[in-house]
């Protein structure tokens, strides 16, 4: 699905509750980290999505609608997601300048993302929720978007 996936390893304990993805806890990436910040946000774009891939053609309606929106991810992208079964969400980002369509990693419990950040959180934890309340497939996952691929921060839950 993605052109390349690079893995970083971070070790943390699963016994704490993540207060919010807005704050950094025990080395977990945060939307406020300067290294993930996007300097400028593209506005008033009107581009047609590149629908030349099988992936894009399978989700033409959602992708075409996303291309009509203002950016909501990483300054120049419109992120859209959809259900793909029980505990399954999939989606894409559309580059609102070039029209390029890129698949995002599949999640079990949804996504969290911000227009000013290149950080994508899969299976975000709600404020006050304990990780012990989640099955392993619902653990948070963190990705840094590089414009063409996603860099995964692998968290070793112990």
Encode pLDDT of 48-92 as tens digits: 999 999 999 999 999 999 999 999 999 999 999 999 999 999 999
Domain membership of residue 56 (yes or no) is yes
Those residues with Cβ within 8 angstroms of residue 19's Cβ, 6 or more apart along the chain or in another chain: 25, 127, 128
Domain membership of residue 78 (yes or no) is yes
The whole domain housing 50 covers: 5-11+36-157
Indicate the number of domains in the chain. 1
- Listed residue (111, 56, 115) closest to 83, CA to CA: 111
Domain membership of residue 121 (yes or no) is yes
Domain membership of residue 61 (yes or no) is yes
pLDDT band per the 50, 70, 90 thresholds, residue 32: confident
Domain membership of residue 24 (yes or no) is no
Domain membership of residue 147 (yes or no) is yes
* Choice between 158 and 34, residue whose per-residue pLDDT is larger: 34
Cα-Cα-Cα-Cα dihedral of 27, 41, 127, 25, to 10°? 10
- Listed residue (1, 25, 22) closest to 155, CA to CA: 25
- 8 A C-beta contact, residue 82 and residue 91: yes
How is residue 28 written in tokens?
């977990």
According to DSSP, the β-strands at 88-95 and 5-12 are unpaired
pLDDT band per the 50, 70, 90 thresholds, residue 46: confident
- 8 A C-beta contact, residue 92 and residue 59: yes
pLDDT at 34: 79
Domain membership of residue 22 (yes or no) is no
Domain membership of residue 69 (yes or no) is yes
Q: Is the pLDDT of residue 2 over 70?
A: no
Give pTM, 2 decimals.
0.79
118-146: average pLDDT: 89
pLDDT band per the 50, 70, 90 thresholds, residue 14: very low
């Amino acid at each position: 699905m993605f052109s390349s996936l690079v893995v970083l390893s971070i070790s943390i304990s699963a016994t704490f509750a993540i207060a919010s993805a807005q704050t950094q806890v025990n080395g977990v990436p945060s939307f406020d980290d300067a290294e993930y910040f996007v300097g400028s946000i593209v506005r008033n774009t009107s581009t047609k999505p590149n629908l030349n891939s099988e992936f894009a053609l399978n989700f033409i309606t959602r992708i075409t609608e996303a291309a009509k929106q203002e950016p909501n991810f990483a300054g120049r992208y419109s992120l859209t997601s959809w259900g793909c079964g029980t505990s399954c969400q999939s989606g894409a980002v559309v580059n609102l300048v070039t029209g390029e369509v890129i698949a995002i990693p599949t999640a079990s419990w949804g996504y969290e993302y911000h227009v000013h950040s290149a950080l994508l959180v899969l299976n975000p934890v709600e404020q006050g929720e304990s990780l012990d309340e989640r099955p392993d497939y619902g653990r948070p996952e963190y990705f840094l978007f590089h414009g063409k691929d996603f860099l995964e921060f692998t968290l070793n839950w112990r």
